[in-house]
Chain A
Amino acid sequence: MDETLVEFIKRTILKIPMTEMMTILKAWNFLSEKQLQTVNFRQRKESLVQDLVLLCEEKRASVHDAALLDIIYTQFHRHQKVWDVFQMSKEPGDDIDLFDMEQFKSSFVKILQRALKNVTVSFRDAEENAVWIRIAWGTQYRKPNQYKPIYVVYYSQTPYAFTSSCQLKSNIPLLGQALTVASKHHKIVKMDLRSRYLDSLKAIVFKQYNRTFETHNSTTPLQERTLELDIHMDSRIIHENRVEKERVQRVTQETFGDYPQPRLEFAQYKLETKFKSDFNGDILAERKEPLRCLIKFSSPHLLEALKALAPAGIADAPLSPLLTCIPNKGMNYFKIRDK
């Protein structure tokens, strides 16, 4: 077997944490039960990996087998990548063809191979009519670099595809073209949405995060909640601004709902606006060109943090719509210009 391939398999297996080793190997389904039984899983990791690699060599693992293992590892560790979102669209007059997964896959591979002779493309079907695609890029003269692949998760019943941010950015247009043509769409656009949490991106884009139903009796649960607060509180503590507190709770609930928020790590605002100042004769206010400024909010869980701002007393309620529109608009990158 090719030395580089053996090395790649070794490094891929080494990445897998010991606690997940059995699960991932079983999901891979390349080494049989019998073969796995011959391996001692209690030895040191380096020796275990060597044994496993030997078994793979015996069974003559191919590049595609190795790529499949890489996909499975990434599926288990999807948070290690940062995901972008692409939206495709059809022309208004286009026929609605029935989606054929096999045709999509062969068309996709053909387009990439026509442009770049050396490219490794692997597919793994997933639930909800989704397919995980792994692409290792090469050039006309160089073999594909297996260590810098790009992953695409395409939901075939929707116009959305999620891609892991790739260092080799020059291939993105080609990828976009392949996706669009193979899935019989006309245009592809990158959305201003990015996060490590693929499931949260899905929830935002497919509008699955809003699971409560709107009722007219929305005041009743709030009253129950405030009653709950009273019982736990010492009667010697009196809240002077109870009315205001209730208003803030109500506004927060109306804006964010009762459900858990999808998880994003940041929101970025690029401002290109003229400087506004209360002082007369301010030098900055006299500038004719807009002031350029970048504001970034980061958090382990941005939307939950925003939801907690007003009740914690750190900000006024209601919050700026620029912050609260993030899940609705499906954006966390904004460009703000003067109207």
Chain B
Amino acid sequence: MSVLRPLDKQPGLNTATILLVGTEDALLQQLADSMLKEDCASELKVHLARSLPLPSNVNRPRIDLIVFVVNLHSKYSLRNVEESLRHVDATFFLGKVGFLATGAGRESHCSIHRNTVVRLAHTYRSPLLFCDLEVRIAWAQGKGSQSTMGVSRTLLRGSSSA
């Protein structure tokens, strides 16, 4: 069974690799685009994956941060993230994993209760951000309005390697 381990490869010189995992490709693409526009201390690369495990026959750099994206409007996306979490080694959760719950602004469309994701993040001891990537103005938990740029900024600063 292929499991992602944080330290099984040598780190690249002055590079950082972020892996975004989520079912909705368009949202991941949008988030990746705005992350790359941000200033980053190292050279940033973003990998987009629908789910884990990743295809095994590919030569890829060491992954420094995994962000699991859950769309609160879709139980399907939550189930996908829950399945993917099984393929991540426990040591990854020492500061190299984050959860992003999008669609938080439109309460009427949410089919996943906020507490479900809060509990999930708590179980895995990892930070959780609420946002709405599909709307121009997004909210990060308790912080007022931020755009997708703000979300990416928060993610980049919060990750322990970038």
Q: Is B25 an interface residue (CB 8 A)?
A: yes
Q: Which of A85-93, A312-320, A327-335 contacts B (4 or more CB under 8 A)?
A: A312-320
Bound state CA distance, A312 and B60, in angstroms? 25
Cβ distance B17 to chain A, nearest Cβ, rounded Å: 9
Given B32, B44, B45, B55, which contacts A241 in the complex, CB threshold below 8 Å? B55
Q: Which residues of B13-27 are within 8 A (CB) of A?
A: 19, 22-26
Interface SS majority for chain B: mixed
Cβ distance B39 to chain A, nearest Cβ, rounded Å: 14
Given A238, A239, A243, A244, which contacts B45 in the complex, CB threshold below 8 Å? A238
Q: Is B58 an interface residue (CB 8 A)?
A: yes
| Cβ-closest chain A residue relative to B32 | A237
Bound state CA distance, A240 and B45, in angstroms? 12
Given B22, B23, B44, B58, which contacts A236 in the complex, CB threshold below 8 Å? B44
A-B Cβ contacts below 8 A, count: 57
Interface size of A as a range: 10 to 19
CB of B50 within 8 A of CB of A236, answer no
Chain A residues in 8 Å Cβ range of B162: none
CB of B23 within 8 A of CB of A241, answer no
- Beyond contacts A240-B49, A240-B55: 13 other A-B pairs, Cβ-Cβ < 8 A, are A236-B44, A236-B45, A237-B29, A237-B46, A240-B50, A241-B49, A241-B50, A241-B55, A245-B50, A313-B22, A313-B23, A313-B25, A315-B76
Bound state CA distance, A314 and B22, in angstroms? 10
Given A236, A243, A312, A315, which contacts B25 in the complex, CB threshold below 8 Å? A312
Bound state CA distance, A315 and B79, in angstroms? 12
- Known contacts A240-B54, A243-B55: A314-B48 contact under CB 8 Å: no
Ordered by A's residue number, 10 sampled pairs between the chains whose C-beta atoms are within 8 Å are: A236-B46, A238-B48, A238-B60, A239-B48, A240-B58, A241-B49, A243-B55, A245-B25, A313-B77, A314-B76
Q: Is B47 an interface residue (CB 8 A)?
A: yes
Bound state CA distance, A241 and B22, in angstroms? 11
Bound state CA distance, A323 and B73, in angstroms? 21
Chain A residues in 8 Å Cβ range of B54: 240
Q: Is B94 an interface residue (CB 8 A)?
A: no
| Cβ-closest chain A residue relative to B29 | A237
CB of A240 within 8 A of CB of B24, answer no
Bound state CA distance, A237 and B28, in angstroms? 10
Q: Is B159 an interface residue (CB 8 A)?
A: no
Chain B residues in 8 Å Cβ range of A315: 76
Cβ distance B23 to chain A, nearest Cβ, rounded Å: 4
CB of A314 within 8 A of CB of B46, answer no
Cβ distance B56 to chain A, nearest Cβ, rounded Å: 11
Cβ distance B55 to chain A, nearest Cβ, rounded Å: 6
Q: Is A228 an interface residue (CB 8 A)?
A: no
Bound state CA distance, A297 and B50, in angstroms? 26
Cβ distance A254 to chain B, nearest Cβ, rounded Å: 19
CB of A314 within 8 A of CB of B23, answer yes
Cβ distance A245 to chain B, nearest Cβ, rounded Å: 7
Q: Is B126 an interface residue (CB 8 A)?
A: no
Given B22, B24, B33, B47, which contacts A238 in the complex, CB threshold below 8 Å? B47
Chain B residues in 8 Å Cβ range of A234: 32-33, 36
Given A239, A243, A314, which contacts B74 in the complex, CB threshold below 8 Å? A314
CB of B32 within 8 A of CB of A314, answer no
Chain A residues in 8 Å Cβ range of B58: 240
Q: Which residues of A253-309 are within 8 A (CB) of B?
A: none
Chain B residues in 8 Å Cβ range of A237: 29, 32-33, 36, 45-48
- A244, A245, A312, A313, most chain B CB atoms within 10 A: A313
0/1 per residue, A219-240, Cβ < 8 Å to B? 0000000000000001011111
Bound state CA distance, A314 and B66, in angstroms? 21
Bound state CA distance, A241 and B28, in angstroms? 13
Given A236, A245, A312, which contacts B24 in the complex, CB threshold below 8 Å? A312
| Cβ-closest chain B residue relative to A238 | B47
0/1 per residue, B27-45, Cβ < 8 Å to A? 0010011001000000011
